Amino acid sequence: METGRLLAPLREQGVLIVGSGLSYHNLRAFNAQGAAASHAFDDWLRATMALPPQQRAAQLMEWEKAPAARMAHPREEHLLPLMVVLGAAENEAASVPYHEDAFVGSLAVSSFRFG
């Protein structure tokens, strides 16, 4: 998030900051086997992103405590871009422009937008 905070002034210059990742990224269970974990983590993530800014940031920093967190993200690199973008738009509400409950047949995934 600190990296995003450092990038935040670029937004005032018209620079679009994009974080690319996926709310579920366990390639060993990128099928029906991962459905329950993807839904549990995605539900938590969407609820977290709807919180007021300070609560949202604090809860996201504790993401490993979320339901099915390490099943959804055995490694965190596909979740970290969300934290950078959140840091850049820290006080703005998040919207969910994309949510799918049956991605690749059974996985839940979401995208978030600020501003």
**At 92, which CATH number?**
3.40.830.10
Mean pLDDT rounded to a whole number for the chain: 94
For 33-45, write each residue's pLDDT tens digit. 999 999 999 999 9
Q: How is the chain split among helix, strand and coil, in percent rounded to 5?
A: 50, 15, 35
| Among candidate residues 40, 106, 92, the one with its CA nearest the CA of residue 70 | 40
Residue 107 pLDDT > 90: yes
pLDDT at 22: 83
Domain range enclosing 23: 2-114
Query: What span, in angstroms and rounded, lies between the C-alpha atoms of 107 and 59?
Result: 23
Give the model's confidence band at 57: pLDDT under 50 very low, under 70 low, under 90 confident, else very high.
very high
Which segments of the chain are extended strands (E)? 94-103, 107-114
Give the model's confidence band at 115: pLDDT under 50 very low, under 70 low, under 90 confident, else very high.
confident
Counted domains in the chain:
1
pTM: 0.93
Residue type (1 letter), 110: S
